[in-house]
Chain A
Amino acid sequence: MPTPLPTLDQQPEPSPRRTCALATCAAGVRATIVDIECSADEACRLRALGLCEGTDVSVIDARHAMLLDVRGTRLALGSTLTAGITVQPLPPRD
């Protein structure tokens, strides 16, 4: 199970660890979504698909379109979208 989202109405606490664009992550990287910058329609669709702030994702393949594992499903996202998504990389699993 992915890390449960904050269930309170407030935003998650900011973390001191570095953040980067999802587009810069290589295959195999796990990261937590910090912010989604795109049109409201696209953001709404991404959230419905389970990709919202606080969600952990794994990059399965990184090429022109990125292939992600999001809540156990496989999601392909175009490069302009992944460039607008800020993530916080997680330490690799043992």
Chain B
Amino acid sequence: MNATGSTAPRDTLRVAVIGNPNTGKTTLFNALTGLRQRVGNFAGVTVERVEGSFRTTDGQRIALLDLPGSYSLSAGSPDERIALEVLLGRDPDRWRPDVVLVVVDAAHLERNLFLASQVLELGLPVVIALNQVDVAESEGIRIDIPALTHELGVQVIPTVAMRGEGLDPLARALCLAITLPAPTRRFQLSAAATAALAPVAAALTADGLPPVAAHMEALRLLGLDQPEAHLAQVPGIAAALRDAQVALQAAGIVPSRFEAERRYGWIAELLARTVTRRAPLTHTVSDRIDAVALHRFWGPLVFLGLMALVFQAVFSWATPLMDGIQAVIGAVGHTIGSWLPEGDLRSLVVSGIFDGVGSVLVFLPQIAMLFAFIGLLEHSGYMARAAYLMDRVMRRVGLHGKSFIPMLSGYACAVPGIMATRTIEDPKDRLAAIMVVPLMSCSARLPVYTLLIGAFVPATSVGLGLTLQGVTMLAMYLLGTVMALVMAAVFKRTLLKGPVRPMILELPPYRWPSLRSLMVSVTQRCQMFIRRAGTVILSLSIVLWALATYPKTTVDPTRSPAQQQEARLAHSALGRMGQAIAPVVRPLGYDWKIGVAIVSSFAAREVFVSTMSTLYGVSDVSVEADHEQALQQRLVQARHPETGAPAYSPLMAVGLMVFYVFALMCMSTIAVTVREAGGGRLGWRWAGIQFAYMLVLAYGSAWLVYAGGRALGWGGA
């Protein structure tokens, strides 16, 4: 997309899209813009900023900014604060919308119109997309759209985003809106209330807010303890609000309830004039599904079954695709290698680039599948049920039920997982979730688990269709999850002591997810992963190749190729670094090669596998064979140079996996923690605590496994 926030050309119409969560807002956004999107962050915070653009049939370019889902303009979470700042023109990125598109759910008009009524008072042109009209009709709700348009004073366009219906009229309405007068408040306040609020509005207007928006804000601020940070600095606002509250109370009005009572009162009157519905269904389809999904006995079973299905799909169904990618990368690397003369350039291309990046890219199908399942659970409405079911468990360790969603996302990647904590309102609850999300085994750990399990754990059947390999994999995931809960309990009882905020969670009706919208989201995530593989991991692979290749030495040509390779490596910069750190990792049963692989993977865990590939020169020996199998064979056959005993044992492999379960080895996660935990020194402090506690946990547990196992006579090299 080429129309971005502050740089969007002025012939582009800028539209901010807002709506309650679960209204189909993102589906509508995806339907309008397709893949012409850019995902980034709002300045200074990690609230995801998604922008997209499209051209209308008349050739008008429209840039859309998808604002986070909000129930009102009162900012309870960082998400909602961003929405308010953009709409009030106080966004640090200076993205000022020309038009606001409010997406409302036609089947739940009453609740959705609360936010819409606030947006109508911002002094900006507004268009309302009446989405999911098909669902409303199927539930017997009939909306008189011309009457609603008349009542609201803005264009109301019926849409069915999932089927792409109503998009052209919506685009035309957006273009037309800018030529129409901006809407204003649609109801009157009593003379007493108007007089009480006038000084508050005057203070806000003096600070630069448009007069219409200032009146909306004056009414809205009555319900809050104190104005949000961006309004708290307005001169005289606190005193004006206090006076207004006293005056309203003297007039028999409860200030905190006033806005909700007035708006919902007006909405009730408006709906009485514009909406008819047959007697409400006593048991909707959602209720029937919930009777099972939220059942005290069946609910948790359904939940566990779904989780098992997700993991089965991710770890088994992705295999053919992964094999395909591996074959293609191997073949391309081999072909390009064969064109190049024998020497350093060929080694760099084949071992450095294709092996390094290829060993990470191969996990793309698993990542796509995991994101697709998480998207499916979220878009269908089940994710909120899972949070509801898990609330009790989460609460016991001091986490909010909503923390379950970031933790589940953490199985795919800690970065979106940590970003998903933004829906948790309380800063301490949110920080506790941020601190433990990286303990969930993310997809970057998979290559390490797969390599070590394949090499050292036999595929013995343990019954119920499970093998020892599968059980070991499951154990690693469980270990991370249980430790995340334990550490959350520790944090909430020490550094982040405080009560857990009570749950307030909407359970949206179940919906068939839009395949197109799902595809757009998954493609975005895959693009981000490929970009990471093409930048961070490519650079690291080249650096590692150089460290493993230089300085060079002459080796005895009579020795076996493997011994020659080992001698060359021992002389290289990487080899020397390995010897230096060997004493640190020796108590864990690791030799210098694993030490090097661990150190090199501190920036990104996946690099462990590519480093081991480089260290064992897998590509030099069998370019066409399955690299992973070749590397597994090499690990099993590796011998201690002095004793001749096997260099690695199953016990060491389990200890190493435990190390990877706990260690925070990901630059992106550290960066996102710094920003999410408050940025600056505060952010670095929390990121430092996170990194340190996870490293201590990793080293201590790996030592316990190895030393404990040996003490029990389970062997070890």
Contacts and interface: CB of A to CB of B under 8 A. Distances in A.
A40 B506 contact: no
Interface in A41-58: 41-50, 52-55
Chain A contact residues (Cβ within 8 angstroms of B): what range?
35 or more
Given A11-B252, A74-B286, A65 B388 contact: yes
Q: Which of B259, B260, B401 has the most A CB atoms < 10 Å from its CB?
A: B260
Contacts of A39: 225
Interface residues of B, number: 58
B257 A47 contact: yes
Contacts of B74: 44-45, 48
Interface in B283-337: 286-287, 290, 294, 296
A40 B506 CA distance: 19
Contacts of A60: 287
B349 interface: no
A60 B282 CA distance: 11
Nearest to B252: A10
Nearest to A74: B507
Contacts of B114: 48, 50
Contacts of A71: 108, 110-111
Contacts of B503: 65, 76-78, 81
Nearest to B281: A72
B502 A77 contact: yes
A77 B533 CA distance: 43
B460 interface: no
B272 A52 contact: no
Interface in A24-71: 38-50, 52-55, 60-61, 63-65, 67, 70-71
Contacts of A7: 262, 265-266, 268-269
B190 A9 contact: yes
A65 to B, nearest CB: 5
B42 interface: no
Nearest to A58: B282
Contacts of B684: none
A73 interface: yes
B472 to A, nearest CB: 34
Given A40-B256, A49-B71, A71-B110, A78 B280 contact: no
Contacts of A20: none
Contact of B506 (A2, A6, A49): A49
A50 B251 contact: no
Contacts of B265: 4-8
A21 to B, nearest CB: 14
B72 A81 contact: no
B388 A72 contact: no
Contacts of A74: 286, 290, 506-509
B392 to A, nearest CB: 5
A40 B272 contact: no
Contact of B391 (A42, A44, A72, A78): A78
10 contacts: A1-B271, A47-B72, A47-B257, A49-B71, A49-B504, A64-B392, A65-B401, A72-B280, A73-B108, A74-B290
Interface of A: 1-2, 4-11, 38-50, 52-55, 60-61, 63-65, 67, 70-81
Given A2-B268, A40-B224, A42-B501, 5 more contacts: A1-B277, A5-B264, A6-B261, A50-B110, A74-B508
